[in-house]
Amino acid sequence: MRDIKHIGILTGGGDCPGLNSVIRAITKTAVLKYGVEVIGFIDGFRGLVENNYVQLDLRRVSGIGHTGGTILGTSNRDNPFNFMTMIQGQLQPTDQSDRAISNIKHLDLDGLIVIGGDGSLNISYKFFERGINIVGVPKTIDNDLSATDITFGFITAVNTASDALDKLHTTAESHHRVMILEVMGRYAGWIALYAGMSGSADVILIPEIPYSLDAIVSKIAQRFRQGKKFSIIVVAEGAHPQGGEMVVQSLVPTSHDPVRLGGIGQKVADEVSTRLTDIETRVTVLGHLQRGGGPTPYDRILATRYGVAAVDAFMEGKYGTMVSLQGNSITTVDLQEAIKEIRKVPVDSKIVDAARSIGITFGDY
């Protein structure tokens, strides 16, 4: 066991249910199991650059495990290697990584545990290459990180979307409408797939399977002929038609991933309404509700296991790694492996096959 005395932690990227559970687990494990002090940087990597932090102790993390958000704050725009700095009255990107490393050394930290998605972990890997001891914890509601079966926050987001679908079913059936629910996920369709199956959707559109409007219209028309005068469609924000592009809502140049998707739900609704003029179509964009609220019991437990495993890995000198769920076990994988690609839904997976078997269409035929 290495002589570790001080660990820094931060939460980067978008907020996610379960972040506080991880913070609590890291702090309690470090303090109670190893006698190590923990400091938390405020607002992600911005706090690291600006040396803005708080001491984390048992009192500060008491009672936060069931709460949503992060007590440390977070940011998805503050990359120390491309940090927006005011120069002669204008914000300009600058490399502030040396400043961040200087703060780490000044605080006598033995390294960092970074809780984040692919953007934050990419930044973390750069710091690891610069000689900083790093252990990552996989966080994203999108479930799109490589080298782990599930990221914490995903199941809570699915639960939120499933609850929305339950409510949309009643109004859809009452008014004989097509109800479209647009969910998050970026370039992966995990939330749409799981929520769609859980919420008894008729059509699920995901980025991995480009859709045909003809197939969607055919499914809705078939249901009406069978006397089912309503339909439920779940659309992942990254879904797109065959031969077409994803719908981009906006661009944020200062972000690791500048593309903000959104609007595909309305696009599908407009196209369906044009083809089926006698059927009303309505759209609900779930948006940031999927990020909010307290984590489900599953995510609380998974986040706690990740937090404990991250401290254990750090104390064992397993730097440049990310804790990962493999089956029922928590292990470590190389950070480089974890960030090398986006984990997408395999189109030939058993869960996609199961959805097709119960009559769900993915709009491809």
Which residues have a catalytic role annotated? 142
* Helix, coil or strand: residue 135: strand
Q: What are the C-alpha distances in Å from 84 to residues 51, 72, 89?
A: 16, 21, 12
Q: Which residues on neighbouring strands pair with residue 178, listed in sequence order?
A: 231, 281
Q: How many angstroms separate the most distant Cα atoms in the chain? A: 72
Give residues with Cβ within 8 angstroms of 150, minimum separation 6: 143, 302, 325
Give the residue carrying structure tokens 């083809």.
275
Side chain identity at residue 3, one-letter code:
D
Could you give the 3-state DSSP secondary structure of residue 157?
A: helix
39 close to 53: Cβ distance less than 8 angstroms: yes
Query: Taking a C-beta distance cutoff of 8 angstroms, is the pair 285, 262 a contact?
Result: yes
Q: Which two tokens stand for residue 180?
A: 């479209």
DSSP state of 247: P
Length of the chain: 365
Tokens 């009672």 sit on residue: 63
Q: Which of 190, 143, 130, 195 is nearest to 167 (CA)?
A: 195
Residue type, 290: Q
